[in-house]
Amino acid sequence: MDSRFDEKNMVLPVVSSDKECKNPKLAVLHQNICSLRKKTTEFKVLLCSELKHVGVICLTEHWQSDHKLNCTNIVDFKLVSAFCRSSIEHGGSGIYVKDGLETKEISYFTGISKENIFEMSLIELPGYKLCIVCIYRSPDGQFDRFLNKLELAIQKLLMKDKSLILYGEWNIDFLHEDSNQKNLTDLMLRYNLVNTVQSPTRITKSTNTLIDVIIINKKYYMEPATVIELGFSDHQAQVLPVLCKNHASVIEEF
């Protein structure tokens, strides 16, 4: 497991764009936060230091209502998309984007999210021709329904002729082969997708599990995502930088 995010040493997946990206290097972070409340100050400190290159933050298990989440600010970032539970506690997903980064919320998935099973937030970055999806599935969320919804989302998004990155905590252990893990892997193979997270993301005294994901198209896969300990919960964070293809001079620097 990597202890720090060292952007200089990473090979970046490349996405294509028809127009110039204002920020050709973009790091996207996923963290199961286990309640965002009272943790925004810690985020501010990290985003000014070792996470200064992060432009998009994907959170799972923020544990907030719609009203509370919309009132929860991360300095220099804006909440663009979120799923909040209304009938049971905890869970949820959300995507914060750095100020100045052009975004577009994707609105054609009304009704697909379901508490406990498929808690999805998603955005488009037009400058990168990139869709970012953040999904939380509870450990007791019905797996068959989750898989059906996931495949539907993948199919719709791939029809839009944009790159796709899936983030989240799905509570399927990629280090332990069982029927659920096999069915998920088979679905990923059908759509030429790969999980870039290759080391445990939740470590306890008795278990090491890889239940958080950053999933991309295989043709963009260069090396594993960076897994880092930020101290927000019992989950490690994961960071994957992407590089906008139309900036040849920037690509050459790497």
When pLDDT is cut at 50, 70 and 90, the band that residue 3 belongs to is: very low
In a domain, 33, yes or no: yes
Q: Which domain holds residue 33?
A: 7-253
pLDDT over 50 at 12, yes or no:
no
For tokens 């509370």, the residue is 68
122 found inside a domain? yes
Residue 2 resides in a domain: no
> What's the domain count of the chain?
1
In three-state form (DSSP H/G/I as H, E/B as E, the rest C), the secondary structure along 14-26 is EECCCCCCCCCEE
Specify the CATH number for the domain of residue 81.
Answer: 3.60.10.10
Residue 117 belongs to a domain = yes
The answer for residues whose C-beta is within 8 angstroms of residue 99's C-beta and 6 or more apart is 76, 77, 78
User: Percent of the chain beyond pLDDT 70?
Assistant: 86
Residue in the structure block whose two tokens are 């060292």: 6
- Residue 1 domain flag: no
pLDDT of residue 26: 84
In a domain, 217, yes or no: yes
Asked whether residue 45 is domain-assigned, the answer is yes
Separation between Cα atoms, residue 32 and residue 19, nearest integer Å: 33
Mean pLDDT over 70-94 rounds to 95
Residue pair 26/55 in contact by the 8 Å Cβ criterion: yes
Please tell me the distance from the alpha carbon of residue 117 to that of residue 105, in angstroms, as a whole number.
21
Rounded CA gap, 116 and 60, in Å?
12
Window from 28-37, 102-111, 133-142 with minimum mean pLDDT: 102-111
Q: How far is CA 201 from CA 31, 170, 235, 238, in A?
A: 10, 12, 6, 8
Contact of 53 with 27, CB cutoff 8 Å? yes
> Cβ(77)–Cβ(98) under 8 Å?
yes
Report whether pLDDT(29) > 80.
yes
